[in-house]
Structure 1
Amino acid sequence: MPDEPRENIAGDTDTAPAAFEPGTTGTRAEAVVDDFGGLYWQKTYGGTDAFESLVRTILSQNTSDVASQPAHDALMERYGGDGLAAALADAERARLAETISSAGLYNQKSEVIVDAAARIREAYGGADAFDEFVREDEPGEVRDALLDIHGVGPKTADCVLLFAGGRDGVFPVDTHVHRIARRMGLAPADAGHEEVRSRLEADVPAEKCGFGHTAMIQFGREYCTARKPACLDGPEACPLYGRCDRVGVDEVGESVVDPAEAAGD
C-alpha cells in the first residue's frame, strides 16, 4: 500500500495508521471508500496547528499542491515561528503577496490571509486559543465561525476541521471530490459542492470520511482525471470501474463532459 504523498492538502499533519471495518453501512459510497482504502492508505487525521492549516488551505485555493507548497514554505520561512498569526495580521500585503506568488491569485490570497489573521487575533486573542476552539468546540459552531471569516469557504472550513481538529464525519469537497462523486453516481449529477458533501457525509461512516477525502483526491489525480479518465482505455484500466456509473463519460466516443451537462441532455 503506497504512502500518502506529502504534496497533499493535509500537509505535515499528525496522522495515524488506521484499519476500518469494511461495509458497515452497506452504501455504495462506503464501498467506494473501502476500495480506496485498499488501493491507497487508511489513516486518521488531526494535530496540525489550526491557523497554519487555515493558511495552507487558503494558499491551495484554485491551484495545485505543486504550486501552493512552495508558497507555504516561503511564507513560513519569512513569517513563521510562535507568532505566525500576529506576524501575518501586521504583514504588509504587497510583501506577503510577493512571498506567496507561486500559489497564484496572490494579491487576493494575501488579503484573505491578513484579514483572517487579524480576525483571529481580535476574536480569540491569538493562534493558541483559536487552535483550542477548533479542536474542542462543537463542530457546527466551529464551521460557522470559519465560514464567517472573509475568503473562507466550505472546503477550507472543512479542511481545518479535519486536519487540525481531527473531527470524524467531515468529508471536504474539492474539485476532484466534486467531479468523482457525481461521475460515479454517489451524488446527483447536477449537485453543488455542498450537496455532494452532505451526501458523502451521510453515506460514509464518520471514521472513514477523512481518508476517503484524501484518497479520492489521489484517485482523481491518478485515474479519474477531468479530461481523460482511465476508463477510456478500457475497464481494466480503472480499479473502480465496477463501482462507477461513468456519468458524462462516453467510452465509445471517447469523450467526456461534466456530469451536470450529461444530466441536462
Structure 2
Amino acid sequence: MSDDPEPTVNISGGREGGGAAAEFDPATADTRAEEVVDRLGELYWQKTYGGQDAFTCLVRTILSQNTSDKASQPAHDALIERYGGSASQRDADGASGQARAEDADLAESLADAEQSRLAETISSAGLYNQKSEIIIDAAEWVSEEFGSAAAFDAFVKDEEPSTVREMLLSVRGVGPKTADCVLLFAGGRGSVFPVDTHVHRIYRRLGIAPADADHEAVRAVLERDVPAAKCGFGHTATIQFGREYCSARKPACLDGPEACPMADLCDQVGVSPETGEVVDPTEALD
C-alpha cells in the first residue's frame, strides 16, 4: 500500500472517510480495465470504500458538482459547522438564542434552513444559489420520505442498490454520478464505478470504452470489466491520475511514452503526440 495518504480534501474523505485497505495486482488482471486499475494501485493508495453517513455524503457530492475539491471542501466544512451535529446552531432561520443541538439531524436542520443563508455558507463551492436550493430540496425529501438522516442512511446501506439509485435519481439535482457516489462511499456498494468527467475522458482515451460512449455507457463497461472490490478505488484513483497525468488538454504522453505510467495500455484516442493536438475522443471519430 502506498505510503502517501489519500487526500482528505476530496469526496472520498481520505483515510477518515471509511473503507479498508485492499490488494491490487496487475499480473492477475483479467481485462485491460482491471489492469489499469491495478496499475493505479501501484501509484496511489489502495482501499475499498463505504461507511460514510449517507446524507452527509449526498450533501458533499452535491457541493462537489462542477467545481474542484479545493473549492467544495471549505463549503462542506462551513455547512457542517453551521448546520450539523454538535457544531450546529439551531438559529439557521433567525431563531437566535436557542441552545445548540448536540444531536442535530442534518437533514432536519437543512430542510429548515433559510436558502439565502445556506447559499452564503457554501459560497466557496460555486453555483451556491442553485446548490443551496438543491440541498434544501434533498433535505426535505429525506425528512419527508424517511423521517431522519439516520433512517436514510439505513436505507442506503440495506436496500437493493438499484432501488436506492432509482430513488436518488428522482431527487432534483441528483444525477447518476451523485447517486453512485452515495452508493459507493456511504453504502459500500463495491460494484459501483461512478463516472465523472475524468473517468469519462480517460477510459475513452485509453480505448477501453467506445470513443462516443456517454457517461452511462462508460459506467456499464467499467462495472462489467472491473471486479466489484476494485470499482471504488478505480473511481478515486482514476480522478487522481487524470489530475496528475491525463488532463483534458495536456496529457503527459505529449512529453513521450515514458512520461505516462499507462502508455503501454493506452490507445491515445484523440491524442496526437506528433502534432501535439488533443481533442475529445468523440471528435477523433470525425
Q: Does 1:27 align with 2:31?
A: yes
Residues 153-208 of structure 1 deviation map (CA, whole Å, 9 limit, x = unaligned): 00000000000000111000001000101100110101100000010000000110
Q: Offset at 1:23?
A: 5.5
Question: Which of 201, 210, 226 is matched with 2:248 structurally?
Answer: 226
Question: Which of 221, 227, 231 is matched with 1:199 structurally?
Answer: 221
Q: Offset at 1:4?
A: 1.2
CA distance change for structure 1 residues 23 and 150 in 2, over 3 Å: closer, same or farther? farther
Q: Partner letter of residue 191 of structure 1?
A: A
Q: Partner letter of residue 233 of structure 2?
A: F
Q: How many correspondences in the alignment?
A: 264
**2:115 paired residue number:** 93
The secondary structure found in structure 2 opposite 1:188 is coil
Q: Does 1:55 align with 2:55?
A: no
Q: Partner letter of residue 85 of structure 1?
A: A
Residues 221-241 of structure 1 deviation map (CA, whole Å, 9 limit, x = unaligned): 000001100000011100110
Give yes or no for contact 2:26–2:39 (8 Å, CA) kept in 1: no
Q: Offset at 1:22?
A: 4.3
Runs of 4 or more above 3 Å deviation: 20-25
Distance in 2 (alpha carbons) for counterparts of 1:226 and 1:32 = 18
Q: CA RMSD in A?
A: 1.1
**2:264 paired residue number:** 242
Give yes or no for contact 2:191–2:229 (8 Å, CA) kept in 1: yes
Aligned pairs for 1:69-108 within 5 A = 69-81=73-85, 82-108=104-130
Aligned pairs for 1:109-120 within 5 A = 109-120=131-142
Question: Which of 161, 165, 183 is matched with 1:139 structurally?
Answer: 161
Question: Which of 116, 120, 123 is matched with 2:145 structurally?
Answer: 123
Q: Partner letter of residue 68 of structure 2?
A: S
Give yes or no for contact 2:198–2:242 (8 Å, CA) kept in 1: yes
Identity, % of aligned positions:
70
Q: Partner letter of residue 263 of structure 2?
A: Y
Which structure carries more relative contact order (alpha carbon 8 Å, separation 6+)? 1
Answer with 1 or 2: which has the greater Rg: 2
Distance in 1 (alpha carbons) for counterparts of 2:275 and 2:144 = 57
Aligned pairs for 1:29-48 within 5 A = 29-48=33-52
- Alignment TM-score, normalising by the size of structure 2: 0.90
Residues 206-264 of structure 1 deviation map (CA, whole Å, 9 limit, x = unaligned): 1100101100000000000011000000111001100101100010111101111011x
Q: Partner letter of residue 189 of structure 1?
A: A
Q: Does 1:66 align with 2:70?
A: yes
Distance in 1 (alpha carbons) for counterparts of 2:155 and 2:35 = 34
Q: Offset at 1:6?
A: 1.2
CA distance change for structure 1 residues 23 and 165 in 2, over 3 Å: closer, same or farther? farther
**2:235 paired residue number:** 213
Which blocks of at least 5 consecutive residues in structure 1 are unaligned? none
Give yes or no for contact 1:25–1:203 (8 Å, CA) kept in 2: no
Q: Offset at 1:113?
A: 0.2
Q: Offset at 1:145?
A: 0.8
**1:5 paired residue number:** 7
Give yes or no for contact 1:120–1:130 (8 Å, CA) kept in 2: yes
Q: Offset at 1:9?
A: 1.4
